[in-house]
Chain A
């Protein structure tokens, strides 16, 4: 496994392999941050923080597993922390820019690009605790129990938050899906 070799080399302070690890996984990590934070600059900042934190806590990584899920989970935590620090504002100016208006989307044919923008904007309208549920379940494909362990929350909370998040998304996207 390529990741395993990288991580083992990294534990020996091999900077070159860290570059390679970043190169391989930066897009995945960046997209976690983009979905959760909503703008590219914040997402790139969070991506940097993710890799630096990963380097710092390399000893916690299990080399038997692929690096991508581990990095994405770190990214989700970092983004959730950032979002919770932003509270109670919930949305910053950049988020406002990407949000759809509260009016229904045009009835005409929705271009694929617009649809994707609408989905991203709908995600940003979710409260952080729901947003991270959608991220971990739908984009990182964790099970209920894995999400509960990751967020240190009861399984019942995971089920109810995920259900509520989907209800809200369905409402926001009713003209798109």
Chain B
């Protein structure tokens, strides 16, 4: 497994760097605005970039696809992408101290109290999409919420009792 070094670039994004199996150092900058830079370093001066290739969010998806990226990675990228347009996805797993464990979706009053919606519940290997409002939540369930940045954060707090 190739190890990747991660460096924060305040104001810009995050810089990743790794060395390929045949000894070429290369890297990626993940910009805050969702674009990526592909970095190819100079053999003689490994501190300097020989070439920098700017990739838009769409280019990045295409590249991940071409490299045979798993759908999970692509879906995460989509979630990140959608969160930029104001839609947030949140995966929340209920612990045994959750005040909502045992309650039905309706009883949590999540929609009224936070504005976010439960769109899916993962229990073990089972995936329940668009669960009915009388569906009970249990400890260990992973609840998928959709909303704005604010409403999903509120919903997370409601579910976890924090």
Is B truly associated with A? Answer: no
Question: Which residues of B line the A interface, CB within 8 A?
Answer: none
